[in-house]
Amino acid sequence: MVDILCLNVGSSSLSFVAFSETSAGLTQLADGGVDLSREASLQINVEDKSGMKFIVPDPSDFDDAVLGIIDKLKSAAVLGSGYVVSHRVVHGGNRTCAAEWLTPDLAQQLDLLTPLAPLHQRKALGPAQTIAKQHPHTPQVAVYDSSFHATLPDLARALPLPDAPALQGIRRFGFHGLSYAWVARYMAEVAPSRRRIVALHLSGGCSACAMKDGRSIDTTMGATPLDGPMMGTRSGAVDPGLVLYLLQARNLTPDDVAHMLWHESGLKGVSGISNDLRDLLPSDDPRAERATGLFCRKVAKAVAEMTVSLGALDALVFTGGIGAEQPRIRERICADLAVFGIQLVPEANEACAELLTAPDAFIEVRAVASQEELIMAQETQNLMRSAR
């Protein structure tokens, strides 16, 4: 049996979960992480042991932090001599497999996709390359955040662009797939009759996914994780004519525009205060309300868009840090969706219960904490079994 260390690197956060592969299934050994927007220390929580904290010299250096995690888990006898490291890789390009052995050659191929996911791709591959240097005999796995959307039909994959050589291999891919895979499995267990589902992953990045019978049939993110509703620092979908205008008439460089769209827009750009709703919701600054209102309206419109692809809606599922933990945001989004007949039970929503509507509601609404690392571990297990 093998231990599996799942590393989930985001644009400004690092989380991990260590599992043990046993005959009875996967057992969680430890978890932890760091959110650079809130803290500068990396927390390690070991099951049945006291928690440990350590300070990394540079909390934004995830390569160094990952090595620290491995050293601490090995010194605490959490990880055995044989273990596998599984990495969440946001962009898998045209790969349809869920997971692959992360060899140096594959890492180079995946690095070519960095311009399509500049906030995530290299941040995930960096720790993998560091581990390969410091622990060269440790097997590593890439689990793709885009692979859940391999089931997209041709219409949902298509871009309204010409068949030009410069666009070869480019299509709508979709992301947040590990989160959506968890939602699909969860809903199959608790509400199997709810076949047509819109899931909302709302966190630093935000997207919507239309699922039918547990399969992705449409999603709001396209060729890059910049598409869809507005996010923490990302603009989401904007008028492409505006981008051309900024380049041609306002003399901004491509790098200027890219920085604006990826790093200075969304909640941060509209509010001028913060990219975090935990800062904006209690604020009495009218700019905070403007950003919050625009965010909720954009997300509600994304639900309507996904419902068109489904033909009807049986359930709406909120996940991600905002989706699972922010009742005021869920309330505002669902108020915009009242035309669908959605009506939350206020007490359930305020308590962040899993079921937020009456049991017999025509459209069920749920809030579900994502378990991306568990999906990573399961996909890693599947890959290891196929190699045995």
Q: Which residues are known catalytic residues?
A: 145
Q: Residue 207: which H helix or E strand, with range?
A: strand 206-212
Nearest to 56 by CA among 38, 75, 73, 43: 43
Q: What is the DSSP string of 127-161?
A: HHHHHHHHSTTS-EEEEESSGGGGG--HHHH--SS
Torsion angle defined by CA atoms of residues 155, 160, 166 and 169, in that order, rounded to the nearest 10 degrees:
-10
Nearest to 314 by CA among 370, 358, 365: 365
CA distances from 208 to 138, 161, 351 (A): 36, 22, 23
Q: What are phi and psi of 367, to 5 degrees?
A: -120, 125
The structure tokens listed for 115 are: 């311009």
C-alpha–C-alpha distance, residues 178 and 374, integer Å: 9
Could you give the 3-state DSSP secondary structure of residue 205? coil
CA distances from 274 to 207, 266, 267, 291 (A): 20, 10, 7, 10
Three-class DSSP labels, 282-335 = CCCCHHHHHHHHHHHHHHHHHHHHHHHHHCCCCEEEEEHHHHHHCHHHHHHHHH
Nearest to 71 by CA among 136, 141, 131: 131
C-alpha–C-alpha distance, residues 305 and 288, integer Å: 26
Q: What is the DSSP letter of 116?
A: G
The structure tokens listed for 127 are: 């720790």
For residue 201, list its beta bridge partners: 207, 319
